[in-house]
C-alpha cells in the first residue's frame, strides 16, 4: 500500500513516515545533535550538519509534503522565517501582489524589510481576481495569497489566481495557516508554494513556534533548500517532533473546530447584541460559493462586531470572557479571543486597517475543541 495514496485522515498519521532506522522506533527520535560522524571524508548517511538536515526535521517535512499533496517540505524556526525564505527567491525591482487584509506580521516584513531592499509590493482586494490582473506586469514575480484572510475571513479563489499566473514566470504562494490542509490544499488548486505557521492548527497545542513551506516543483525545491540552509532559520528537532505529534490528530481536531465554529457563528448571528459576524460558512458571506468549492469545511475562526461598537465596548467584552483566553495566536485546542486592532494588526496603520474592516470594535475568536455549550455560555455572560 503506497502511503501517498492514502486518504487524508490516514496521511496525517502515516504520510511520509517509516520506523526509525536505528531501533525501529515508531515515533521518530528527537535527534538532538548538531553533527554526524563520517567514516571517511564525505562518507555519511545523508546527514552532515543539522542546519542542513536533521532526521526529526526530515520526518516532519515528509509528513507536511504528504498532507499538502506536495513533494518537498521545508521547516523553519517560525512562520515568519518561512515567509522570509519565499521573498528571498526574488531580486530588487521584482514586484509582489498581495491582499489588503493580510496577517500583520506578513505586512510588516513586506513593507518594513523587503520594500527597503528594493522589492515592490501591491496590496489589493483579492476577492475580485480582476484587481490582481490589473497589477500584473513583466516585473511581477510573486502573488501572495492568504485565505481565509485574517481577521476578516474573506475568501480568495485560489483556482482563479492560478489561472492568472499560468504560462507566466510568477510564483503563486498561499498562506494556508487559517484553513490548515484538512480544509484546503492549495497545491491541488494550482498554487506553487504553500506556507504555514505550524504554530497554529498544525501544532495545535499552543506549545511551539514553527513555520513550513511545501512545494511540488523540484527546481523550486532546490532553490528553497539552498535558502533554508544558507539563511539558516531552521527549527530545532524538539519543535519538529511536537508539530509532527500535533499533525497526527489534525483531522479529529479540525472536525471539532468546524462543528464548534458553526454552532458559535450561528449563536452570534442570532444574538441581539451583535451587529455582524464574519464566517465563510454563512450563505450570506460574499465568498461563500468559492469557500464551498475550495474548502472541506469552514473552520473555527470567527470575527464579530457588537451593536454600537466602540473600543470601550470591545474591551469590556474581552475582559468578561472567562473560558476564551485573551491572547495572541490561534488554532490551539483551547479557545482564544483576540482584538486585532491592538494585537495582531497593530503594525498596520489605523486608516489602512479600517479600510479593510478591522475597526476598533472587531473581536476575533479562535474556537477551540471544548464542549460548545460551555463556550456559548461564556459568550452569553460576556455579551449581557
Ligand X SMILES: *Cc1c(COP(=O)(O)O)cnc(C)c1O
Residues of the shown chain interacting with ligand X in the complex, contacts defined by CB under 6 A: 78-80, 103, 105-106, 146, 150, 175, 177-178, 197, 199-200, 209, 211
Closest CB to ligand X belongs to which residue? 79
Q: Which is nearer to ligand X, 109 or 376 (CB)?
A: 109
Rounded Cα distance, 287 and 338, in Å: 24
Q: Which is nearer to ligand X, 147 or 306 (CB)?
A: 147
CB of 195 to ligand X, least distance (A): 7
Q: Which is nearer to ligand X, 58 or 199 (CB)?
A: 199
**Cβ atoms of residues 340 and 315 within 8 Å:** no
CB of 194 to ligand X, least distance (A): 12
Is 103 catalytic? The answer is yes
Is 380 catalytic? The answer is no
Of 257, 264, 160, the residue nearest 202 (C-alpha): 257
Catalytic residue from among 175, 192, 309, 360: 175
Q: Exposed (0-12), middle (13-18) or buried (19+): which is 179, by Cβ within 10 Å? A: buried
Q: Which is nearer to ligand X, 56 or 78 (CB)?
A: 78
Question: CA angle 230-235-239, nearest 5°?
Answer: 170
CB of 210 to ligand X, least distance (A): 7
Rounded Cα distance, 308 and 138, in Å: 47
**Cell 490582473 sits at which residue?**
133
**Cell 506553487 sits at which residue?**
192
CB of 105 to ligand X, least distance (A): 5
Is 175 catalytic? The answer is yes
Catalytic residue from among 103, 107, 171, 182: 103
Rounded Cα distance, 369 and 128, in Å: 33
* Residues classed as catalytic: 51, 103, 175, 200
Amino acid at each position: 500500500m503506497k502511503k501517498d495514496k492514502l486518504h487524508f485522515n490516514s496521511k496525517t498519521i502515516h504520510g511520509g513516515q517509516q520506523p526509525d532506522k536505528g531501533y525501529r522506533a515508531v515515533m521518530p527520535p528527537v535527534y538532538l545533535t548538531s553533527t554526524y560522524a563520517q567514516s571517511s571524508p564525505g562518507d555519511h548517511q545523508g546527514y552532515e550538519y543539522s542546519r542542513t538536515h536533521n532526521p526529526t526535521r526530515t520526518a516532519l517535512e515528509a509528513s507536511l509534503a504528504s498532507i499538502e499533496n506536495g513533494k518537498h517540505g521545508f521547516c523553519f524556526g517560525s512562520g515568519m522565517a518561512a515567509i522570509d525564505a519565499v521573498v528571498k527567491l526574488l531580486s530588487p525591482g521584482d514586484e509582489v501582489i498581495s491582499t489588503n487584509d493580510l496577517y500583520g506580521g506578513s505586512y510588516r516584513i513586506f513593507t518594513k524589510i523587503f520594500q527597503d531592499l528594493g522589492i515592490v509590493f501591491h496590496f489589493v482586494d483579492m476577492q475580485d481576481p480582476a484587481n490582481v490582473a490589473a497589477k500584473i506586469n513583466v516585473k511581477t514575480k510573486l502573488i501572495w495569497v492568504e485565505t481565509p484572510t485574517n481577521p476578516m475571513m474573506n475568501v480568495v479563489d485560489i483556482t482563479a489566481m492560478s489561472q492568472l499566473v499560468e504560462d507566466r514566470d510568477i510564483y503563486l504562494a498561499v498562506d494556508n495557516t487559517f484553513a490548515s490542509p484538512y480544509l484546503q490544499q492549495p497545491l491541488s488548486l494550482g498554487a506553487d508554494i504553500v506556507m504555514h505557521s505550524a504554530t497554529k492548527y498544525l501544532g495545535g497545542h499552543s506549545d511551539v513556534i514553527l513555520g513550513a513551506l511545501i512545494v511540488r516543483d523540484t527546481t523550486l525545491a532546490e532553490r528553497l533548500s539552498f535558502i533554508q540552509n544558507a539563511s539558516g532559520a531552521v527549527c530545532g528537532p524538539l519543535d519538529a517532533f511536537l508539530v509532527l505529534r500535533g499533525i497526527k490528530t489534525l483531522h479529529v481536531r479540525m472536525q471539532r473546530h468546524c462543528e464548534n465554529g458553526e454552532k458559535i457563528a450561528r449563536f452570534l448571528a442570532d444574538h441581539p447584541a451583535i451587529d455582524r459576524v464574519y464566517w465563510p460558512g454563512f450563505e450570506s458571506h460574499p465568498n461563500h460559493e468559492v469557500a464551498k468549492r475550495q474548502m472541506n469545511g469552514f473552520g473555527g475562526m470567527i470575527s464579530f462586531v457588537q451593536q454600537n461598537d466602540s473600543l470601550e465596548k470591545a474591551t469590556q467584552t474581552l475582559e468578561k470572557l472567562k473560558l476564551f483566553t485573551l491572547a495572541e495566536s490561534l488554532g490551539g485546542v483551547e479557545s482564544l479571543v483576540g482584538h486585532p486592532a491592538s494585537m495582531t494588526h497593530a503594525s498596520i496603520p489605523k486608516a489602512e486597517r479600517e479600510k479593510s474592516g478591522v475597526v476598533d470594535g472587531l473581536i476575533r475568536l479562535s474556537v477551540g475543541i471544548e464542549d460548545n455549550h460551555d463556550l456559548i455560555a461564556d459568550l452569553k455572560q460576556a455579551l449581557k
